[in-house]
Structure 1
């Protein structure tokens, strides 16, 4: 039985190691081209990998947050996680994809993201040949909330609506729309407030008139994180101020009657003044009764 020569085995071994070292030496660490955007409370992945895809199972992988000062986020070495010196705020929130390490994927998963997690993260790899390779990932964290609409009284023949929404970051914009999507003129500029946690609250009023649908929408949007929230309200017909038809008809009738009586009194008075001197007496009596009639109409309405 023939055996494989020992010298040949050594040659193959040295060749394999040489190829591995050459491949490792020509690799680079690649991160995302753009910043990573997420919302507070979500889980996020910070991409980082070796190109070409070579195993990182036996390498040292270190994730560090760079600002405002360097903080140990996650450390992998000697084939396992080693987070003894991890910053307490990241405890039980970070992990690597261990099954993907053999493919050079050293991306970091960060769970339950907070606003304070935003910043620059360094993905650092120490290769088998003690070469240091790294890239930087920018994480931007936003916050949103659903707007709330309420009826805030009436104004003229319209209804005043109020929209409020808090817990936003960065500062959002708010606008009112009708059922066709047309932006409505609001009652002045939005009211803004920022709380102790750095979150923004915004409030805005609008006066709306009765329409065929009585449906109106409050929209809050933040372009920087490309996020939008909307709430719609249907205002019942009976909430709008009602025209008192009876009163208006009565006033119109009274006005017409007064006008007619005044005209008649004028014509009769002039005629009687010209025809007879005692017409002054009758004219005075006529004005007296007209005054009584006007008082009576006023009391009725």
Structure 2
């Protein structure tokens, strides 16, 4: 009796036997937000990002935006296919909206207009109707205030000229420094003078004594690292102001 080699039998059998492997898998829809804080300046409009991943329509879901430090009330509520002001915190009325045309793509971000310093904080994007475990995310909002520094000539000292730089309306508290025309930081006449007003805005003032140079140009720089904002003002001191 003639027999087939094992390898031949396997090849012959594969022609008649069909093996079907069915693999089922699904990605759980999650609510995701930005990894870094969102930064805005007082008076600006800002978007607090929040979305569903993988992208699925949120048109028939309930989307609730709240503040973590507020015990009750909504910042914004979307349900039954429309925005709702039910239990909305009064200070947010007329200032919040969602991108309704983007809901079908899973975009449930919140737009907040005319941002104020008191808006700073942690916001919760929550979708209670979602069946997955990750139904919410937190978005941190940092709000700052800035203004242009003002330079003036404040007299003379020896052979040099005393310059004064002032800038108010900052938040959080900024740093101030003087630079020459090449960008080198100049030693100031003591530490900056700081003041915080009743609205929690900071003013800062700093003096520097400069000698005559080829350009006689000097810059006052005010910067706030936390909100990553910087303002500069340059002054040209006429040669005749310097003594001698």
2-structure distance, mates of 1:165, 1:237: 26
Classify the secondary structure of the residue corresponding to 2:111: strand
Picking from 83, 86, 100, the partner of 2:88 is 86
Alignment of 1:228-243 (within 5 A): 228-241=230-243, 243=244
Classify the secondary structure of the residue corresponding to 1:99: helix
Structure 2: which 5+ residue stretches go unaligned?
A: 1-24
Which residue of the partner structure matches residue 156 of structure 2?
A: 154
Which residue of the partner structure matches residue 195 of structure 2?
A: 193
Classify the secondary structure of the residue corresponding to 2:102: helix
2-structure distance, mates of 1:100, 1:139: 22
Greater relative contact order (Cα 8 A, min sep 6): structure 1 or 2? 2
2-structure distance, mates of 1:162, 1:145: 16
Which residue of the partner structure matches residue 258 of structure 1?
A: none
Structure 1: which 5+ residue stretches go unaligned?
A: 1-21, 244-301
2-structure distance, mates of 1:129, 1:35: 27
Higher strand share: 2
Picking from 205, 208, 213, the partner of 2:207 is 205
Classify the secondary structure of the residue corresponding to 1:216: strand
Which residue of the partner structure matches residue 55 of structure 1?
A: 57
Classify the secondary structure of the residue corresponding to 1:220: strand
**Contact kept in structure 2, 1:157 and 1:209, CA below 8 Å:** yes
Which residue of the partner structure matches residue 29 of structure 2?
A: 27
- Relative distance call for 1:77 and 1:158 in structure 2 (3 A) is same
**Contact kept in structure 1, 2:30 and 2:133, CA below 8 Å:** no
Aligned length: 220
1-structure distance, mates of 2:98, 2:124: 14
Which residue of the partner structure matches residue 145 of structure 1?
A: 147
Task: Tell me the CA shift for residue 222 of structure 1.
Answer: 1.2
Which consecutive segments of 4 or more residues in structure 1 shift more than 3 A?
A: 68-71, 128-132
Task: Tell me the CA shift for residue 130 of structure 1.
Answer: 9.8
1:160-179 deviations in Å (ceiling 9; x for gaps): 10000111111111111111
RMSD over aligned CA atoms reads 1.9
Picking from 71, 74, 80, the partner of 1:72 is 74
Higher helix share: 1
**Contact kept in structure 2, 1:125 and 1:132, CA below 8 Å:** no
Larger radius of gyration: 1
Classify the secondary structure of the residue corresponding to 1:120: strand
1-structure distance, mates of 2:80, 2:134: 16
Normalising by structure 2, report the TM-score: 0.85
Normalising by structure 1, report the TM-score: 0.69
Picking from 165, 179, 182, the partner of 2:181 is 179
Which residue of the partner structure matches residue 102 of structure 1?
A: 104
**Contact kept in structure 2, 1:143 and 1:169, CA below 8 Å:** yes
2-structure distance, mates of 1:163, 1:70: 45
Which residue of the partner structure matches residue 220 of structure 1?
A: 222
Classify the secondary structure of the residue corresponding to 2:74: strand
**Contact kept in structure 2, 1:126 and 1:132, CA below 8 Å:** no
In the alignment, does 2:48 pair up with 1:46?
yes
Which residue of the partner structure matches residue 247 of structure 1?
A: none
1:15-63 deviations in Å (ceiling 9; x for gaps): xxxxxxx97x931111111221222122111111111111111111110
